[in-house]
Structure 1
Amino acid sequence: MQRVCSTFTAGFLLLLFCAGSAVHAEQLTQPLYYSPKFLEAKRLTTILEQPEDTIDFARAKLAIDKMVDPTIDVKANLKKIDAMVKQIKALLPAKATSTDKMLAVKKYIYEAGTWNNFQPYHYDFDDPSGTIVSHKLLPNYLASKKGNCVSMPLLLIVLGQRLGIDVTASTAPKHVLVKYTDSDTGQTYNLETTSGANPARDVWYQQTMHVTDQALENRIYLQKLSKQESLAVMATVLAESYYEKQDYEKAMMISDVVLKHNSNAVDTMLMKGSLFYKLLAKHYLNKYPTPNLIPVVERPYFEFLNINNRFWFEKAEKLGWREPTQADEINYLNKVKHDANLLQKQ
């Protein structure tokens, strides 16, 4: 997450004021990024705009992952998922309830047994923050059995849907969790997949991940997302892959698609803010030590990028997001590692 240095932009805005800017006020406050669409954005839109009753989380996740890594074999991975579901069904009692099914999924994933070759899935301590894009891809998680706070909940959602369980995604700051609704009681629970998919109360996320009361009031965190919104959560990895490749314009377009289908996706808002910074750095900050050196003809575009950089961070803050301190992030990682270690020792 990066914002423009206020000293640099203050000097630039003073320069515009003295010289007289040709950019109108309505242009300065426009938060959109204008760029022609490209194939991946169109394909992603098609995936996200499926009718809710036709959404298959497994197929959608693999289709998105294949856009990140074209070598992914979608059919082969669907067969893996089908085989996993078959093994989970073998663990079920007759007339299994929703709870029975969820317990069987948890057993299959987290407990060593013949069903997983005595190799349960576990947290990836080599990439505890889930910063490596490839580690968020479902096929990599299936192959390595090492996951993070993106791949782990999404696998549970994929398997749960195949078993007829009411599961969707939910989010906390830089984190994905599962919302599970027991069809027999109507009760909805948070399931924390980095800790054995055990139930976790909202207050735990508030305390551990610094979810503010304002964020809850504005419904940006810990909400039970729709299937379409859950697909938008899955799609963020595509924007991240373009960001990692420094293809910032494409990352911007994918982010726009995500926000169109999940307007409260705060992490994507923050990515947009950072993307505008990257474009500023690419075109101006790394080239011109002072604002008066920017060619006059390019100053309106600089101003557009600068204002949008600030716009997206400020929007997230108004909704209740707070930038974590380094101590916050260390404490969170230590907590996740501690819980994952306890799970592995069981």
Structure 2
Amino acid sequence: MKRKLSYTFLIVLTIIWLSTGVLKAQSNQFYNDAYQTIDNMLNDKQKYSFKDAVFSVENAYFQGKLDTVQLNREIKFLTRFAKAIVANRDLNYQQSDKARVSKYAAIYSIMCQTLPVAVQDTVIQYKPFNYDFKDVFGHHDITNLFVSKLLATKKGNCNSMPYLYKILAEELGETAHLALAPNHVYIKHQIKSDGWYNTELTSGMFPQDSWLMASGYIHLDAIKNGVFMKALNDKESLALCLFDLAQAYNRNFPDNDGAFVLQAVNRAIEVYPNFAKALILRAETHKAQFEKLMDKQNLSSSNPENIKKAQQDPKAKELMSLMTEEYMHIYEIGYRQMPEEMYLDWLVSLKTEREKYENKKLLNNFTK
């Protein structure tokens, strides 16, 4: 009887072990599929769609449970709404690219303005999306950075809001350029009347470049090297999705060996060489790999002497060399880390000093 129970117990343990392995492999497959989707777009093997790239990342994090049917339905509704605004509103703007600018203005209105909407004999007030100051960096819950969360709650941040703007622009047949500042993503457009201008969705404004420079963390080398304030093309925007994919993978699998993360960030860096967040994540992944090798040797990374001992291992020595070169390169291209508290103060300054930073001419052009 004992032998029979032991045999049964072994079978149960084997089934559990096998099913766990299958689930883990299945989980990884969601990330592999998302990576392949984005890589195919970069290689022109698949039709480019920023929306599909973004949702593939979010679906990987949710392990295939993202309701993309509902999300696409919501995107279609917002697209139809934007088209209705364009059809029923005549802007002051009178340049030859008015049709395109009217679409940008419609998306801006949907994102940032309260609008009266006629429903049969009743006029209701459409409420815009709002900035959510809770967990703006996604430290506690990475889904706070997701477009799916923004659509579900109408609350988002400087990651999800410009992403949704770009998605809607593409649905309307236009492009929108994402641009980066310290800890921040915003929109850049080029139009006939003003050339390049900025759209800041977190506060619903069109700030001048002086506001970006006021952060104090945008080094001139960072501008020259395209680290910050560069209008990203579509493929460079996909590099941001690859970074998001790597970051999400780290959250799903915090004890991973770094292989998938490096695959994603290295591809992102191929496309956008001075993408600071990807460069930092690559260096931090190499650092984590180095620390794991130290742990295997029972060496504490807080002791400088132990770090020297660890480098007797050829792999550890290689990782240490990579980390040193990578962190140095990040500094040389002009990246400077902005403290998170200062970032929030800087973001709020756009509203408190609106008169100082707002592009009033553009605001007038975007009105009826």
Structure 1 and Structure 2 fold alike (TM over 0.5): yes
Q: CA RMSD in A?
A: 3.0
Higher deviation after alignment, 115-124 or 130-139: 115-124
Amino acid at match of 2:101: T
Structure 2: stretches of 5+ with no match in the other structure: 1-30, 91-97, 118-123, 355-368
How far apart, CA to CA, are the structure 2 residues paired with 1:164 and 1:302?
50
1:49-68 equivalences in 2 (<5 Å) = 49-50=43-44, 54-68=47-61
Find the counterpart in structure 2 of residue 112 from structure 1.
114
Give the TM-score normalised by the residue count of structure 1: 0.77
User: Relative contact order: is structure 1 or structure 2 higher (C-alpha 8 Å, sep ≥ 6)?
Assistant: 1
Alignment of 1:58-97 (within 5 A): 58-69=51-62, 70-93=64-87, 97=99
2:302 matches 1:308:
no
What residue number does 1:333 align with?
344
Change (3 A) 1:226 1:137: same
Partner of 1:275: 285
Residue among 269, 276, 301 paired with 1:259: 269
Alpha carbons 2:37, 2:56 under 8 Å: kept: no
Q: What TM-score do you get using the length of structure 2 for normalisation? A: 0.73
Change (3 A) 1:134 1:160: same
Aligned counterparts of 1:257 and 1:80: Cα–Cα separation in 2:
31
Q: Indicate how the Cα distance of structure 1 residues 127 and 117 shifts in structure 2: closer, same or farther if over 3 A, else same.
A: farther
Conserved? CA contact 2:130–2:155, under 8 Å: yes
Higher deviation after alignment, 312-321 or 93-102? 93-102
- Superposition deviation, residue 222 in structure 1: 1.0
Against the structure 1 CA distance between its residues 157 and 293, is the aligned structure 2 distance closer, same or farther, given a 3 Å change threshold?
Answer: closer
Contact 2:34 2:53 in 1 (8 A): no
Residue 123, structure 1, aligned to residue 131, structure 2 = yes
Question: Are positions 1:144 and 2:144 aligned together?
Answer: no
Deviation at 1:178, TM superposition (A): 1.0
Measured in 2, the distance between the counterparts of 1:340 and 1:147 equals 17
Letter in 1 for 2:344: L
- Greater Rg by CA: 2
2:45, 2:216 → 1: CA distance? 33
Residue in 2 that maps onto 1:42: 36
- Note if contact 2:143-2:149 (Cα within 8 Å) is conserved in structure 1: yes
User: Quick check: 2:293–2:310 contact (8 Å CA) kept in 1?
Assistant: no
Judged with a 3 Å threshold, the aligned counterparts in structure 2 of structure 1 residues 224 and 112 are, in CA distance, closer, same or farther, namely: same
Please say which of residues 218-227 and 63-72 is displaced more in the overlay: 63-72
Partner Cα separation in structure 1 for residue 265 and residue 343 of structure 2: 26
CA distance in 2, matches of 1:151, 1:277: 29
Q: Is the partner of 1:180 in helix, strand or coil? A: strand
The question of whether the paired residues in 1 share the 8 Å contact of 2:145 and 2:159 is answered with yes
Contact 1:150-1:175 within 8 A present in 2 as well:
yes
Cα deviation, residue 283, structure 1: 2.6
- The letter for the 1-side match of 2:36 is K
Q: Which residue pairs with 2:101 in the alignment?
A: 99
